Every structure is written in C-alpha cells, then in structure tokens.
C-alpha cells in the first residue's frame, strides 16, 4: 500500500532525489517548498521549517491529502560558512534553527501520527562534517552533529513502537549547496575522497529508501555514511 511520506526541502537537490525515489517505489510523497512550488508528481506544501505554525498547517494539508505522515525525511538545511572568529551569533543561531530545531519541529509533529499508527520511519539528513568537523562550519557541523542526538533519543523513546529514527551522513554531493563553493574548496574535498569522485543525489536517496523500508525494521539510531569513504574512522 502507498505510504504517506514527507520530505522537507524535497523541492530540489538531495531532497528532490529522495522524494522521486520514494514516489517511484509507489509512495505518496509530499514535499515542502518556500514558494517555488512542487515538481511534477509530488504534493507540495508551503512551509518554512523555522516556523512551527507553518509546519502544523503543512501536516494538516498532508493528512487531508494522503493521510498521516508515516515516513518523515528531515532534509531541509542551509549553510552559512565563515571562520569562528568572524561568525556572528545570528549566523550561528540561524543555521541551528533551520537544521536542528527544524528537524525537532517536524519530528515532533510527525511522531503523533506514528505513535497512533504504531509504525513510523524517520530519517535525518546530517553530513560527514557532523563527526569530522569542518573549517568555517562551526554552526553547520554543530547542527548536523545534533541530529545524531535527536535520532538516538527518539530511538530510545519510540523504538518499542515500530518507529525507527536513523541518520544519513552524506559526503560531498553535487547540488546547488556545493556549487556555491569555490573551485579550490571543491578540488581539495575531491582529493580526500577515497572513491575519487563526488556523490550524486540519487546515491543518498538509495540509502534513505532502504532505511525507510520494512527491511530496515531492526536498524535504529544508526548513522549511515554515504560519502565514498570521506569520513572513515568515525
Ligand atoms: P540545497 O541547497 O540544494 O537545498 C536545500 C533544501 O532545503 C531546499 O529545498 C530548501 O528549500 C530547503 N530549505 C532550506 N532552509 C529551509 C527552511 N528554513 N524551511 C524549509 N526548507 C528549507 O541543498 P542539498 O540538496 O545539497 O542539501 C540537502 C540536505 O543535505 C541539507 O540538509 C544539507 O545540509 C545536506 N547535505 C548536503 C551535502 C552536499 O554535499 N550537498 C552534504 C551533506 C549533507 P528552498 O528551495 O525553499 O530554498
């Protein structure tokens, strides 16, 4: 039976690849957007993950359209890189609010329906820098590391109800986010990737698809790197 899926930030980039992957497997997939609308074949709900009221309204629309969210992919995220010495408090808190508090907000709202259904899948999109750190990314790395604590705490709270909460930690994936980096930043990242190439959004989607499946029922609180070996050792 088609499951009700929500992918935050599923209107483009990695989120869109995840949304398309799950839709191709037969799920009903909703995606959030902040004004761009939803790509063909996906149900778009307008929501900014920094706004609890917008999230609640989006969930209500999804519930009416395709039923309570059974699979949540918390993917929406931003970067605002700069060295610690120059990082303003606003730059720090804005990134934490979108990437970490945003994930908390959607997970909390989704948990209601999952508890009622006694079944659910949550997948949080973190990053290789969550565990390795990244120069210029005190805000971003902190937000992505925080997702590990979020997922593992949810696992302890809800694991006995057939609800799993896992983390996918992508390495360097070709999207608008990485297109914004300088050529020098991109080639220095490439030099450190054992696979010798950047990742593709579809490769992240494959991992998310597995964690969201019935086959992954006994995988809970895990951090799955999808990074060509970039983060090995953590
Ligand atoms: P993009 O910049 O291509 O897309 C970001 C997505 O997040 C967009 O859909 C954007 O929506 C959405 N978004 C951002 N802020 C908010 C918000 N406040 N409310 C709702 N939606 C929001 O990024 P990627 O596809 O590359 O990244 C997706 C996820 O993967 C992010 O969490 C990122 O940190 C993570 N990641 C990416 C890596 C990479 O190499 N690309 C590596 C590791 C992790 P809108 O279109 O409205 O702006």
pLDDT at 178: 87
In a domain, 140, yes or no: yes
Active centre residues (catalytic): 140
Complex ipTM value: 0.99
The CATH number of the domain holding residue 52 is 3.40.50.720
pLDDT at residue 105, as a whole number: 98
If you average pLDDT over every residue of the chain, what do you get?
A: 97
**7 alpha carbon – ligand 1 mean position (Å):** 11
CB distance 78 to ligand 1 below 6 Å: yes
Distance between Cα 160 and ligand 1 center (Å): 31
Residue 152 lies in a domain: yes
Tell which one of 7, 9, 197 to mutate to probe ligand 1, the residue whose CB is within 8 A of the most ligand atoms. 9
pTM of the model: 0.98
Judge whether 179 lies within some domain.
no
* pLDDT tens per residue, range 148-203: 999 999 999 999 999 999 999 999 999 988 888 889 888 988 999 999 999 999 99
Q: Which residue segment(s) compose the domain that 43 sits in?
A: 4-174+200-224
Q: Is residue 20 included in any domain, yes or no?
A: yes
33 lines ligand 1 (CB under 6 A): yes
Which residue, by CA, sits nearest to atom 6 of ligand 1? 9
Over range 72-100, report the average pLDDT.
Answer: 98
| CA–CA separation, 211 and 201 (whole Å) | 16
Instruction: Give the total number of structural domains in the chain.
Output: 1
- What was the pLDDT predicted at 140? 98
**pLDDT above 80: residue 218:** yes
HSE on the CB side for 148, CA within 13 Å? 15
Q: Ligand 1: does its nearest atom lie under 6 Å from the Cβ of 15?
A: yes
Which pLDDT value is given to residue 179? 87
Q: Is residue 102 part of a domain?
A: yes
Residue 182 lies in a domain: no
């Amino acid at each position: 039976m088609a499951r009700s899926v929500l992918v935050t930030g599923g209107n483009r980039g990695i989120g869109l690849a995840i949304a398309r992957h799950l839709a191709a497997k037969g799920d009903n997939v909703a995606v959030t957007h902040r004004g761009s609308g939803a790509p063909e074949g996906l149900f778009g709900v307008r929501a900014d993950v920094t706004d609890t009221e917008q999230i609640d309204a989006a969930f209500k629309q999804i519930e009416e359209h395709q039923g309570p969210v059974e699979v949540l992919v918390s993917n929406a995220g931003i970067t605002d890189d700069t060295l610690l010495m120059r990082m303003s408090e606003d730059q720090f808190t804005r990134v934490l609010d979108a990437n970490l508090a945003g994930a908390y907000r959607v997970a909390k709202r989704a948990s209601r329906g999952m508890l009622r259904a006694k079944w659910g899948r949550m997948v949080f999109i973190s990053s290789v820098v969550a565990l390795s750190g990244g120069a210029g990314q005190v805000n971003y790395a902190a937000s992505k590391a925080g997702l590990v604590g979020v997922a593992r705490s949810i696992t302890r709270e809800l694991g006995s109800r057939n609800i799993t909460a896992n983390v996918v930690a992508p390495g360097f994936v070709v999207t608008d986010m990485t297109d914004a980096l300088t050529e020098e930043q991109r080639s220095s990242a490439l030099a450190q990737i054992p696979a010798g190439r950047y990742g593709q959004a579809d490769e992240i989607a494959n991992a998310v698809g597995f964690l969201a499946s019935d086959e992954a029922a006994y995988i809970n609180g895990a951090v799955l790197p999808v990074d060509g070996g970039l983060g090995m050792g953590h």
